[in-house]
Structure 1
Amino acid sequence: MPENQHEDPFEDRFAAALRDTGHSFRTDDPAALVGRGEVRGRRKQLLRRTAVLGGMTGVALVGVGATLLLTPDVHDPRRTSAAAGPAATTSPSAASPSPAEPFTGDDILRSLKELLPQGTYKEEQAQGTDSLMPPYAHVVFDDGRGAAALGLSFGRVEPGSEQARQRATCPDKALVKYDDCTTAKLPDGSRLALFQGYEYADQRADTKRWYAELLTPEGHHVLLTEWNAPAEKGAPVSRPQPPLSVEQLKEVVTADVWPRVVDSMPSRGDRSATGEAPSPGTRDKTIGDTLAGLLPRELNIVGEGGQESEYAYLVVDDGKGGSLVQINVQPGMSDMAGVLFEDAEELADGRLVTTRQSPGEEGAEGVVMWTVDTLRPDGLRVVISAFNTPAQHQDATRDTPALTMEQLREIALSTVWDAGA
């Protein structure tokens, strides 16, 4: 489900580490996460997604990317792009290792500084390619017009996978508020996204977040993020805009040194691969198609989006205004029963059901979020939410969602989601 993007988007490096070690995700406040749709579920795909976004409630981690930042340097990937030209090349440096050698944190910092305008640096942090965690760099950069945080992160993405299709794309404006976002295909086949938005979707602070995201045909993923403050959160803005222009972001993120950094990362099996089988019950159509087929006939679909498997959203209208409806279908969630369904209703067939009516995203006036969360005995979790607004970061446009709690329950418990349906 859409979530506070970035809010809680898990950074690629944390997600990769979780997949590598096989550890499962736990939260200190599972009820809050469920209510806001922040639990993406599949530990194999704890992606930041989508990524990617700041301060929204209810966006699926993969669908749009939520962010749980582990350090102040790495940031939620996602979505922007710009007109593209040939990839820029970094200036030669004796300090840059050959592709066969690992890059140290100092190597990455040095290469980054060579590509940035004249300025000063502090709070430098970096991780090289000889660690379990994917490499990254973080600096506070000042070009004389105010200190600004910059974060650079790297990863591998399986070419042709669902994750690859999600990278370097613009977020849906039904879920994320931003000023501008463009995407382009570079001459070498890489995809580039250039995004100009905000750290908080409700703009409760003036902190801006801009980023450039690059995905090459070989699966090299590079994300460069900047703010107009010395920290992404909790610091007053220090300048009207982040220091790098869109063209400068593109120049830095497309430097030819970065694919070499990714190539020098140790192989970790399917760490970044997301080519999983479709969720049960949806093998021949997308989650959105299945959801649409379960809606009451009087609802008109006026907007849609999501992924082929696991997450989708629809904007529906019953003649009283748009209403956002989002759903996650997540196999393999049995081990979360005691965390997410501790006080759930148990049906005769063993299915667990919880319901929740809560306020929507902070800063969106009058918004409510109605949720029905279910878990089958075989571990299939289906959770659906509806809002009284067509975009969760916008103020309410109607008194209640277009679907009642009973209708949401009926959809979540439908047998069409079950294996073999």
Structure 2
Amino acid sequence: MSEHSDFEGELTRALRRAGTAFEPDQHGLTLGGAARGRRMRRRSFTVTGGAAAVLLLAAGTAAVAGLPGGAARPVPPASSASPSAPGLTAPQLVAALTSHLTGLQVLDSEAIDTAESVRTGLPPRLSVTVDDGRGRALVTVTVNRLQAQEGHRSKTDCPAEPSATEICEQSRTADGGTLTLRRDQLPGGDPKRIWSASLDAPDGRWVNVSSYNFANMVDQNTTRAEPPLTVAQLGVIAADPVWRPAFEAIPAGGLTQVVPPPVLAGERIAAIVQPLLPAGAVADQLRPTADNLHLRVNTGGVDVHLRDWRKPPMGTPADEFAGAERLADGTLLLARTEPFGGPSYRNVVVLLRPDRLRVTVSALNPPVVEGRTPVSTPVLTLDQVRALALAVVAEAAPLP
């Protein structure tokens, strides 16, 4: 197995342990289903003890106070919520989290509320970008209803064998549930860190709270040495009963994800890409899926991903396309060479079409092979990656 595969597999497993909200593509490590998440932009504000967005319980009701730009909004109290209750809105979800973030500056927030969760089949979840003066970072929450047949112990069990890269502790809660605290890091000196707390309650309620040392899920470039919240702090957030209305709004039978048809099938992407490869390039291990393609070119990797960007995935910077090249039809284009885990580099071209279709094409350098000199140049030049991206976006169907 190549070093690329080891690295990508470890990161994928760590992200999955950190919560089902974020299922990265095996090779591109970009968000998938979260692209349909409801994005909520909030101007920057600092959460302090008095000015925080907090849940105020009074006379059997709750209100969200202190959110910038608006008055208090009602929140159903945990004690009175029922499966027919409206659950939690996106502002209420974000306020429930920010009430725990005293001293952190909240720069951005986004959420999938319970109404959208039922409509799309994605679990309620939210993400905030924070900064404590040591660098920006993501904090995320996912709420789900786990079914007995899912064997959900696998989501919360600590590894049987201790590991220096997986520090895991478990404790029992008063109602007989399990609280799992994890600190995950990648092997080989990779700087990514994911701290998480998962509450697995007897009634099927599953709440995951994760803190990362990077600020967005797209490039996952580290922005600080460690996540901003400790696992103990994450455990307090996960155990907060404020998440119960979101859980109870999920149908008893669980969620069924609605998958839209691809705008360009993986097989067609492969047919477009292969003739455009440079002379002498040998492509093998072709793995096309809906809207995605991974192929190995001269032992390096080339990835193509298409996403509906009308609702960007969680953790995406608001100014991602600031300074982008604007093509004649209004499509925005970004091109860059960037590090990608340890000794790896990749050339990346990102296109955003006027209808908000986002196409990402990237090329990695060949993996390090023992006894050979590392190759630091990606298998395709930036110009070649650009040509591939333009060819793909030209043929992709309009978004429905």
What TM-score do you get using the length of structure 1 for normalisation? 0.44
